[in-house]
A and B are shown apart, each in its own frame.
Chain A
Amino acid sequence: AQKVTQAQTEISVVEKEDVTLDCVYETRDTTYYLFWYKQPPSGELVFLIRRNSFDEQNEISGRYSWNFQKSTSSFNFTITASQVVDSAVYFCALSEARNAGNMLTFGGGTRLMVKP
């Protein structure tokens, strides 16, 4: 069975601070996909990134960066110079490759509050 753990349920930072959201996963599969989604108050989940299990390159997209470490089964997400608009709930998710990115298993989410 697969499992995703986001130990931080809530994080509060002041604008312009850097913040890292942790994600630890468990799976028996050797090939899988990892995702991060953002959920603003409106409710929809907004895709941020997908990583497959054989690509451990870290990725940077503007103020966002992701650190994937297979050795520790972690896929952490860092926001640099946080902004109020970053306030949302962030979900890490896992999908086995045989499910082709469907049937996502989500972590419990981390609520990020960025204060001005």
Chain B
Amino acid sequence: KAGVTQTPRYLIKTRGQQVTLSCSPISGHRSVSWYQQTPGQGLQFLFEYFSETQRNKGNFPGRFSGRQFSNSRSEMNVSTLELGDSALYLCASKQDVAYTGELFFGEGSRLTVL
């Protein structure tokens, strides 16, 4: 069974640009969430999607947005990039939003903003 797949794995952008990151959950998983990991702030929750609906959002500015498609794949977008957006962005999936078990994480997309 394939794991959570995130693309691209690495990317470099400059300030002011925008970026889109993609996440394909494990087959059959319908809940997808995103986390940002930085050396300063650690791991922080970004958003959670289920059935194409955003269920929860963390404390991030409106420049951070996301969506989920009917096949459960998800994308997140960051507009007007700032240096502080440099981070590892991790996507996680699980079977169902009500399932309280483990989240399965991808290897992340490492974004560098110059």
A and B assemble together: yes
Interface string of A8-50 (1 = CB under 8 A from B): 0000000000000000000000000101010000111111001
CB contact under 8 A between A100 and B105, given known A45-B92, A106-B42: no
A91–B45 Cα distance when bound, in Å, is: 14
Chain A count of residues within 8 A CB distance of the other chain: 26
A52: which B residues are within 8 A, CB to CB? 100
A37–B52 Cα distance when bound, in Å, is: 27
A37: which B residues are within 8 A, CB to CB? 105
CB contact under 8 A between A105 and B45, given known A43-B90, A43-B107, A43-B108: yes
CB contact under 8 A between A91 and B100, given known A101-B94, A102-B48, A102-B55: no
**Contact partner of A103 among B45, B88, B104, CB < 8 A?**
B45
Nearest chain B CB to A111 CB, angstrom units: 12
User: Do B90 and A100 touch (CB < 8 A)?
Assistant: no
B103: which A residues are within 8 A, CB to CB? 45, 47, 101-102, 104
User: Do B102 and A44 touch (CB < 8 A)?
Assistant: no
User: Do B102 and A106 touch (CB < 8 A)?
Assistant: no
A93: which B residues are within 8 A, CB to CB? 43
Q: Which of B62-93 contact A (CB under 8 A)?
A: 88, 90, 92
A72 at the interface (CB under 8 A from B): no
B107: which A residues are within 8 A, CB to CB? 42-44
User: Do A102 and B88 touch (CB < 8 A)?
Assistant: no
A33 nearest CB neighbor, chain B only:
B100
Nearest chain B CB to A85 CB, angstrom units: 18
- Kindly name the residue among B101, B102, B104, B106 whose own CB sees the greatest number of chain A CB atoms within 10 A: B102
A115–B6 Cα distance when bound, in Å, is: 32
Q: Name A residues whose Cβ lies closer than 8 Å to a Cβ of B.
A: 33, 35, 37, 42-47, 50, 52, 91, 93, 95, 97, 99-109
14 contacts between A and B (CB under 8 A): A42-B107, A43-B107, A45-B92, A46-B105, A50-B100, A101-B99, A101-B100, A101-B103, A102-B33, A102-B48, A102-B55, A102-B56, A102-B97, A106-B44
